[in-house]
Structure 1
Amino acid sequence: MTVQDREAPVSGESAARVVEAYDFRRPTTLAREHSRILEAGFESFSRQWGTQLTAKVRVKSTVTAESVVMQTYDEYVATLPAATSMVLCAMDGVSAKLVVQFPTPDALGWVARMLGGHGDKSGLERKFTPLEYALIKSLVGEGLEVLHYSLGGLLAGTARVEAIQYNSQFAQAAATTDLMIVVAFTVVVGEAITTASLAIPADALLPQLGAVNPMASIANAAELVRAQVAEVPIDVAVRLEPTGVTPVEVLNLAVGDTLVLPHPEHQPFHVAVGGKNLAQAMVVRKGSRAAARIVTSLTEETLP
């Protein structure tokens, strides 16, 4: 254990010096590479969370990630108002809870909009009714799904809503010295602007951050690129033989018109990727959905 000192802003001739304890065995700052990775992930989460809020509250909403820091749980709680909504979420394999925090009046405003009312609940501090609780739980639950999608393999385990606390001093989400990755957000719903925060146990993120260090060896870069390209999703089209029409015919198309296609009735359909035919298939049914069963795979010699 050692100490570090930090000078406070100088006012006139006086200067104050603040000494803080620093434990090198448990550093509370993120490596620059890790910060970049997390910032990119949470920016993606912000955009998708804003889209989700827009769909839920039926008014244009945006979410912006303002900062990503690592703090102890005690330091995080000290930054929160005493009266607020803290959604505690249990995580697989981690004893500490993930926390989603937002002001209670704003959450009540979101619920009011979801039920068709107006969202102005300024100054209203109370516990959620059973209906409000269910709606907030559903809203946060869907947000956790977006979080997992945005962070991908960075977030170990799944999170689920466990409880909602209304006093930050009484919420026991983690031990006071447990490290948390804390993200601050600005949330705009209609004309209302508020702040929210997300605190994720560091143990759920830091091990995976080491595995995605961008300073990894590039000796097998070609293999890595090929493996990544092989996993990229592409669009596959099942189509009939095309026909040619004039622009006038296209502009004059109306409901009930018939386009004659040169595709024989009993010939299989074409399976194409990027406009290139790769196989032939018959249309079949898979449960309640239509599907294509490959009947011929075109080799390089038979490709058109």
Structure 2
Amino acid sequence: MTLLETLPPGTPAPATAVAAPRPPRQVEIYDFRRPTTLPREHSRALELAFETFARQWGTQLTAKVRVLSQVTCEQLQVLTYDEFAASLPATTAMVLCGIEGTTPKAVIQFPTSAALSWVSHMLGGTRPATVRERTFTPIEQALVRRLMEDALDDLRYSFGNLLVAQIVVGGFQYNSQFAQAAQKSDLMIVASFDIRVGERSAAGTVAIPAEVLLPQLGESESAVDPAEVRRLLGGQLASVPVDVALRLAPAAVLPSIVLDLAVGDVLPLPHPQSRPLAITVDGQVVGRAAVGSAGSRLAGIVVSTSLTGAEEGTS
């Protein structure tokens, strides 16, 4: 009996449920050659510091720009300086901040067009026109420098004991490929932000050399012994299910034969009855098996393992 047969007479049929489309899966590439990941407790401490900085920076922008502003920390990453610079737009505002006792510089980055709209609000504009990416004039640079000095005050307050070295605003750069804030291989702690000033939203980043912050974080309590990494990885891979198949020797046929195939046709296979089948995993031959049975089901009886491609062709 169906659902419709159990409904009282006159009851409208229920609407057919439509499955909601699944959101696209977010895939993050992990480079095993450079496992620059932070321990969980270190990552959480830095996230809290950057989230505090975001709130302070938003409050500071609201006071200086005189427009309701909000800054949100969206992502925390560990990147080499080369990777960080490559992720930025070709033309953008990069404020290079010198750090006492350290050669690499911290970087505060944001679109120049967004900064120009901030300056317009500071000078009394209410609805600034859309501007293109360009360098700052001396007056605009002086106003943006003042905003960045206030932002660094918020950064020092938010990080507390994590940022003990003195940090000051240095120069401005407008080409991410030519800005030399650090060596290409230097690790940077990079936080991404959404900066909303009035109705305008812009993406910004703050990058701080890892050597400035990591010593204050101390040793990780959950650090894994490097000797255990391979064993743990091998144990995890051994528990991942894989598809195993038994394969006959392939037969070469002409395209005309394939196009003319019909029900009842017979394709001869060059596989002798006495020859075991190939055991394959993801197309790779890992052994040989004879056809057998397990109760009422077909089964493969393994007769050899670890065959190479050359052995497959000659066996």
TM-score where L is the length of structure 1: 0.61
Offset of residue 31 of structure 1: 0.8
Residue among 126, 134, 142 paired with 1:134: 142
Query: Which residue number in structure 2 is paired with residue 223 of structure 1?
Result: none
Query: Which residue number in structure 2 is paired with residue 196 of structure 1?
Result: 204
Q: Could you say what secondary structure the match of 1:175 adopts?
A: coil
Offset of residue 127 of structure 1: 1.3
Offset of residue 120 of structure 1: 3.1
Offset of residue 156 of structure 1: 2.9
Offset of residue 118 of structure 1: 3.6
Specify whether residues 119 and 184 from structure 1 end up closer, same or farther in structure 2 by C-alpha distance, changes over 3 A only: farther
Specify whether residues 174 and 70 from structure 1 end up closer, same or farther in structure 2 by C-alpha distance, changes over 3 A only: same
Specify whether residues 191 and 32 from structure 1 end up closer, same or farther in structure 2 by C-alpha distance, changes over 3 A only: same
Query: Which residue number in structure 2 is paired with residue 150 of structure 1?
Result: 158
Query: In the alignment, does 2:56 pair up with 1:48?
Result: yes
Query: In the alignment, does 2:164 pair up with 1:170?
Result: no
How many Å separate the matches in 1 of 2:99 and 2:129? 32
Larger radius of gyration between Structure 1 and Structure 2: 2
Query: In the alignment, does 2:131 pair up with 1:120?
Result: no
Residue among 18, 22, 25 paired with 2:33: 22
Query: Which residue number in structure 2 is paired with residue 280 of structure 1?
Result: none
Query: Which residue number in structure 2 is paired with residue 184 of structure 1?
Result: 192
How many Å separate the matches in 2 of 1:191 and 1:41? 26
Q: Could you say what secondary structure the match of 2:36 adopts?
A: coil
Q: Could you say what secondary structure the match of 2:130 adopts?
A: coil
Q: For 1:48-107, what per-residue CA distance to the aligned partner results, in whole angstroms no more than 9, with x for missing partners? A: 100000001101000000011111001111110000000000000111010000000000
Q: Is the 8 A contact 1:61 1:187 kept in 2?
A: yes
Q: For 1:94-138, what per-residue CA distance to the aligned partner results, in whole angstroms no more than 9, with x for missing partners? A: 110100000000000001111111453534222111111111111
Offset of residue 187 of structure 1: 0.7
How many Å separate the matches in 2 of 1:113 and 1:123? 13
Over 6 Å off, 4+ runs = none
How many Å separate the matches in 2 of 1:186 and 1:121? 20
Offset of residue 19 of structure 1: 9.1
Offset of residue 20 of structure 1: 4.3
Which residue identity lines up with residue 48 of structure 2 in the other structure? Answer: A
* Structure 1 segment 1-304 matched on structure 2, within 5 A: 20=31, 22-23=33-34, 27-118=35-126, 120-210=128-218
Gaps of 5+ in 2: 1-23, 223-315
Offset of residue 210 of structure 1: 0.9
Which residue identity lines up with residue 137 of structure 2 in the other structure? Answer: T
Q: For 1:186-239, what per-residue CA distance to the aligned partner results, in whole angstroms no more than 9, with x for missing partners? A: 01100001110000000100000116x688xxxxxxxxxxxxxxxxxxxxxxxx
Q: For 1:13-35, what per-residue CA distance to the aligned partner results, in whole angstroms no more than 9, with x for missing partners? A: xxxxx894614xxx411111001
Which residue identity lines up with residue 186 of structure 1 in the other structure? Answer: D
Between the aligned residues of both structures, percent identity stands at 54
Q: Is the 8 A contact 1:70 1:181 kept in 2?
A: yes
TM-score where L is the length of structure 2: 0.59
Aligned residues: 196
Q: Is the 8 A contact 2:116 2:131 kept in 1?
A: no
Specify whether residues 41 and 167 from structure 1 end up closer, same or farther in structure 2 by C-alpha distance, changes over 3 A only: same
Q: Is the 8 A contact 1:110 1:119 kept in 2?
A: no
Query: Which residue number in structure 2 is paired with residue 267 of structure 1?
Result: none
Hey, which of these two has a bigger chunk of strand by percent?
A: 1
Offset of residue 168 of structure 1: 0.4
How many Å separate the matches in 2 of 1:167 and 1:187? 21
Gaps of 5+ in 1: 1-8, 11-17, 216-304
How many Å separate the matches in 1 of 2:79 and 2:150? 26
Q: Is the 8 A contact 1:108 1:119 kept in 2?
A: no
How many Å separate the matches in 2 of 1:189 and 1:139? 13
Q: Could you say what secondary structure the match of 2:161 adopts?
A: helix
